[in-house]
Amino acid sequence: MYKTKSPAKVIAIQNEKGGTSKSTTAATLAYLLAKRGEKVALIDFDGQGHASVLCGAKNFNQLEVTISTLLNKVIQGETLPDPETYIFRGKNGVDLIPSNSNLFTFERNLSNVLFREYVLYEYVKTIKNRYSYIIIDTMPQIGSPMINAMMCADSLIIPTQAELFSAQGLSELLRHYSMIKHNGKHDLSIAGVLVTMDSERTKVSATVNAMIEKNLGEQINIFKTRIPRSIKVAEASLYQQTICEYMPDNPAAIAYEKFVEELIENERKT
């Protein structure tokens, strides 16, 4: 079994609101870390399976083993299969634990489970020594899935669209983060808020960015890098690629490269 020198750093990409480039950020971060020579796993913990698509997984709703299958085995106390038998390895160098619509039953399956907040944590423990980074693309909702992701993560990255309603949703997520940190996950940190789909020339983006800086800048890190809006990001998904693979000279791709550099530099300082 492949082992790294130390257990993986686990980063959850999380926002309670959809449409914030959460899956795009998770898949792109995983790809860029792998490109730097890191051993990276991406857990698609969203039943929509968007991160799985971006990593090249086809017919993901027909896959025999997904994160849902694995978590159900944890719930039932069954032996997990060897990761080599189910990990999807695309061309981008990332080890993908895929997802599909079966994951939408996860919360219902937890109804009678003791310590239900730790199911994902128990699974991640079984692969943590294989990687230097584990990236988790999470569901955009409040509830047990969100808590599971927070309980197994070392840090959170919060992508938020440069629009008013998306930014307002940050306060609710931060409230839940504070509750979880206070009630057991004391070492959980926020790596930062990442502004996505930014249109710097519009009044809305400028206003929202100023609001985020004013209201949150003293509480948590806000990445200096902002990801600009680009139709090529959506176009890249048609080819099951991240924007950095599909069009590395695109402004959004360049911004994601700078974001990863900023993230790594911040890690070195802590």
Paired tokens of 198: 């930014």
What span, in angstroms and rounded, lies between the C-alpha atoms of 52 and 132? 20
107 membership: H or E segment, kind and range: helix 106-109
* pLDDT per position as a tens digit, 108-147: 888 787 788 899 999 999 999 999 999 999 998 878 889 9
Q: Where are the beta strands (DSSP E) in the chain?
A: 9-13, 40-45, 88-89, 95-97, 133-138, 155-161, 189-196
* pLDDT per position as a tens digit, 157-178: 999 987 766 666 677 888 888 8
Residue 8 and residue 128 in contact, taking contact as beta carbons nearer than 8 Å: yes
Q: How confident is the model at residue 51 (pLDDT cuts 50, 70, 90)?
A: very high
What span, in angstroms and rounded, lies between the C-alpha atoms of 188 and 150? 7
Q: What is the dihedral of CA 11, 49, 120, 109, to 10 degrees?
A: 150
Is residue 197 helix, strand or coil?
coil
- What pairing do the DSSP bridges indicate for beta strands 95-97 and 88-89? antiparallel
DSSP 112: T
Q: Decide if pLDDT at 186 tops 90.
A: no
Domains annotated for the chain, with CATH where assigned, are 9-269 (3.40.50.300)
Indicate whether this model's pTM tops 0.75.
Answer: yes
